[in-house]
C-alpha cells in the first residue's frame, strides 16, 4: 500500500489569508440597541476616533445611518532601520427606527470610545393582530 504524502502547512500571503479567514485584526463596529424609557438608545463601540471629523450620523426615511472612518498609523525608527504601518477602515451601520420618530430630535454623544445615539420614540397604541397558522 502506497504511503499518502502529508502536505506541509504553509503560510498564505496576507491578502489571501484575509479573504479566507476574515481580517480579525480590524474590529467591526459593534452596536448595542435598547429602550430606555421613551428613548431608543444605540451605542456603538468606536475607540480611537475623533467624533467631530471621523463620524457621520444621519437619518433618512426612518433609518439611522452611522458611518465612521478609522485610520491608524504606527512608526518605528531605530538604528537598524525604519518601519511604518498604516491601517484604514470604514464602517457603516443602518438601523431601522420605530415609526413616528422625528429626525430633528435625534441626539448623539461620544465618551470614552463609545458613541451613544438617542432617539425619542413617540407614544403609540400598540395594535397587533394575531395571525392564525393553518396547517395544510
Report pLDDT for 86. 74
Q: Which of 95, 99, 103 is nearest to 124 (CA)?
A: 99
CB 91 within 8 A of CB 29: yes
pLDDT band at 48 (very low <50, low <70, confident <90, very high): confident
How confident is the prediction for the chain on average, in pLDDT?
Answer: 80
**pLDDT on residue 77:** 84
Are the CB atoms for 94 and 58 separated by under 8 Å? no
Q: Mean pLDDT over residues 23-47, rounded?
A: 80
**Count of Cβ atoms closer than 10 Å to residue 66 Cβ:** 21
- Ordered by where they begin, the domains of the chain are 29-120 (2.60.40.790)
Is pTM beyond 0.75? Reply is: no
Does the pLDDT of residue 103 top 50, yes or no? yes
The percent of residues above 90 in pLDDT, for the chain, comes to 35
Q: Which single residue is written with the C-alpha cell 428613548?
A: 39
Q: Please name the residue that has the C-alpha cell 425619542.
A: 120
User: Is the pLDDT assigned to residue 24 strictly greater than 50?
Assistant: no
pLDDT at 26 over 50: no
What pLDDT does 63 receive?
Answer: 93
Which tens digits make up the pLDDT trace of 105-130? 999 999 998 999 999 998 875 667 88
CA atoms within 13 A on the CB side of 99: 4
Contact 115, 48 (CB under 8 A): no
Give the integer Cα–Cα distance in Å for 25 and 53.
Answer: 23
Concatenating the DSSP letter of every residue in 7-66 gives PPP-PPPHHHHHHHH--TTS----EEEEEETTEEEEEEE-TT--HHHHEEEEEETTEEEE
pLDDT of residue 128: 75
Assess whether pLDDT exceeds 80 at residue 32.
Answer: yes
pLDDT band of 4, cuts 50, 70, 90: low
Amino acid at each position: 500500500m502506497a504511503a499518502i504524502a502529508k502536505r506541509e502547512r504553509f503560510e498564505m500571503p496576507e491578502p489571501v489569508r484575509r479573504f479566507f479567514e476574515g481580517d480579525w485584526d480590524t474590529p467591526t463596529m459593534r452596536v448595542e440597541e435598547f429602550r430606555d424609557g421613551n428613548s431608543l438608545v444605540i451605542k456603538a463601540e468606536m475607540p480611537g476616533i475623533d467624533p467631530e471629523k471621523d463620524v457621520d450620523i444621519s437619518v433618512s426615511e426612518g433609518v439611522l445611518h452611522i458611518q465612521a472612518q478609522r485610520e491608524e498609523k504606527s512608526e518605528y525608527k531605530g538604528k537598524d532601520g525604519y518601519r511604518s504601518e498604516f491601517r484604514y477602515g470604514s464602517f457603516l451601520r443602518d438601523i431601522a427606527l420605530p415609526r413616528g420618530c422625528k429626525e430633528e430630535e435625534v441626539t448623539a454623544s461620544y465618551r470614552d470610545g463609545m458613541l451613544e445615539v438617542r432617539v425619542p420614540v413617540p407614544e403609540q397604541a400598540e395594535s397587533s393582530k394575531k395571525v392564525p397558522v393553518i396547517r395544510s
